[in-house]
Amino acid sequence: MATVTAVTPPPKARRATTARDTGDVTVTDPALVKRAVKAAALGNAMEWFDFGVYSYIAVTLGKVFFPSGNPTAQLLSTFGAFAAAFLVRPLGGMVFGPLGDRVGRQKVLAVTMIMMAAGTFAIGLIPSYATIGVGAPLLLLAARLVQGFSTGGEYAGATTFIAEYAPDKKRGFLGSWLEFGTLAGYIGGAGLVTLMTALLSSDDLTSWGWRIPFLIAGPMGVIGLYLRMRLEETPAFAAEVEKAEAARPKVPLREMVTGQWKALLLCMGLVLVFNVTDYMLLSYMPSYLTSELKYDETHGLLVVLGVMALMMIVQPFAGALTDRVGRRPVIAAGCAGFLLLSVPALLLIRQGSLVAVALGMGALGLLLVCFTAAMPAALPALFPTRVRYGSLSIGFNVSVSLFGGTTPLVVTALIGMTGNMMMPAYYMMAAAVVGGFAVWRMSESAGRPLPGSAPAVEER
């Protein structure tokens, strides 16, 4: 007869799971799982609301903070401030990741939410270059660094949180809602900028209109913080605390890196292809259409919004697909698609007609869904519970900082140096090769327990 045991988490986590055993099996509470997914997705939505606003209003920000007679120089300066935030993301990951493995995922995610909202809100209050001179871009840079530092603990924490709450057979589907939040936030930010661009004159947008999207972050942050404070700790972390019999033991940073170096390299390769293609499509392409191809600004923004709406529709179905066929085949399909179709898709985009641009962007968007649907479940499964938040934060943020967030800046510079308008396609193809190698080396995780955690199911 099997011994019935229970994982006894701290008081707040006790209601998060009724764990029973016929061999230590965690039975999850569906209501709490849904609440955890919503709160984690909202934080990601807020992060990408800022990215959407910043990317879509980049030309205007260049005029406000970096006055210059050269539009390309303005855009490079704006994307330089955008990329600077990614330089501190690894530092944020090194602080918040280990902290999340020690004191809990929920507490750290609440802190990152506060910092993200404060950094974004602050941008809306900064005086223009015409008002305070060089202090304006310096304050913009400072706000971006706060955002980058907090974001260093956000995505890895959110994916860890959902993965540790989700039943093994639904981890892909539930994890896909995190990126659904990403797209919703991006559409919200980009849609607001598009509406303002259509309704306001260029002078009004430059003088005061650009501040509105950033100021909205304040109320959004309060709502997100409320939802996250109501969350309970994950069953996997609660079980680790029970094993330790008291406070969570401190895991040395060196153990999170050297002890997990193979998993870290795989993580960085997967994140590279995921984020290069993500930032290329969602952050860089709006400015590429306007600045490089001289495409009508409003129509270009609407096309990208339509692509993101298409991705949102497909996202949950693709997440469920990863639970059925596995993460590896879906990610591999995305890598192969970007390798083979990046050039044809960009040639379509460069053709310039609305239909051609929509088809090219739509193809890239559907390929990107292969990553957005699979990665939230695949990445946490690379690491054991004891170091999951910390190791994932470090690997994810180092890769994003070096390759993802710098994508708009690097591609803009490469086009300026070479005059070759196909550079975006070549950059995505190179990323697909790296991602393909990482997929080849990774293990399948669909339908299996997370390393170091008990199997998780919905019903006893």
Q: pLDDT tens, 199-229?
A: 888 888 888 888 998 888 778 878 877 878 7
Phi then psi for residue 111, to 5 deg, are -65, -45
Cα–Cα distance for residue pair 20/28, rounded to 1 Å: 10
Instruction: Please give the single-letter amino acid code of residue 398.
Output: V
Distance from CA of residue 155 to its chain's centroid? 6
Q: How much is the average pLDDT of 110-124?
A: 86
- Asked if residue 43 has pLDDT above 50, the reply is yes
In terms of Cβ atoms closer than 10 Å to its own Cβ (0-12, 13-18, 19+), residue 172 is buried
- Asked if residue 20 has pLDDT above 80, the reply is no
- Asked if residue 394 has pLDDT above 70, the reply is yes
User: What pairs with residue 266 in β-bridges?
Assistant: none
Instruction: Please give the single-letter amino acid code of residue 201.
Output: S
3-state secondary structure of 377: helix
Strand ranges for 252-325 from DSSP E: none
> Which DSSP string do the residues of 144-186 spell out, in sequence order?
HHHHHHHHTTHHHHHHHHHHHHS-GGGHHHHHHHHHHHHHHHH
| pLDDT (0 to 100) of residue 139 | 87
Closest CA to 83 of 290, 268, 283: 283
3-state secondary structure of 127: coil
Cα–Cα distance for residue pair 288/423, rounded to 1 Å: 11
Cα–Cα distance for residue pair 288/291, rounded to 1 Å: 5
- Asked if residue 454 has pLDDT above 60, the reply is yes
Cα–Cα distance for residue pair 81/35, rounded to 1 Å: 35
Cβ 322 vs Cβ 375: under 8 Å: no
Phi then psi for residue 27, to 5 deg, are -100, 115
Tens digit of each residue's pLDDT (9 = 90 or more) over 126-161: 898 888 887 888 888 888 888 888 888 888 888 988
Place 369 in a pLDDT band, splitting at 50, 70 and 90. Answer: very high
Closest CA to 256 of 390, 159, 129: 390
- Of 72-81, 87-96, 309-318, 353-362, minimum mean pLDDT range: 72-81
> Which DSSP string do the residues of 52-112 spell out, in sequence order?
HHHHHTHHHHHHHHS--S-HHHHHHHHHHHHHHHHHSHHHHHHHHHHHHHHH-HHHHHHHH
Calculate the CA dihedral of residues 98, 104, 105, 107 and round it to 10 degrees: -110
Cβ 109 vs Cβ 228: under 8 Å: yes
| pLDDT (0 to 100) of residue 298 | 67
53 contacts: CB under 8 Å, gap ≥ 6: 189, 190, 192, 193, 213, 214
- Asked if residue 410 has pLDDT above 80, the reply is yes
Place 437 in a pLDDT band, splitting at 50, 70 and 90. Answer: very high
Q: Which CATH superfamily is domain 25-444 in?
A: MFS general substrate transporter like domains (1.20.1250.20)
For the chain, the average pLDDT equals 82
Cβ 357 vs Cβ 349: under 8 Å: yes
| pLDDT (0 to 100) of residue 322 | 96
Q: How much is the average pLDDT of 8-35?
A: 56
List the chain domain ranges.
Answer: 25-444
Calculate the CA dihedral of residues 213, 298, 73, 348 and round it to 10 degrees: 130
- Asked if residue 66 has pLDDT above 60, the reply is yes
Place 14 in a pLDDT band, splitting at 50, 70 and 90. Answer: very low
Cβ 369 vs Cβ 314: under 8 Å: yes
Instruction: Please give the single-letter amino acid code of residue 29.
Output: D
For the entire predicted model, the pTM comes to 0.83
The residue assigned the tokens 């002890």 is 259
196 contacts: CB under 8 Å, gap ≥ 6: 205, 209, 212, 213
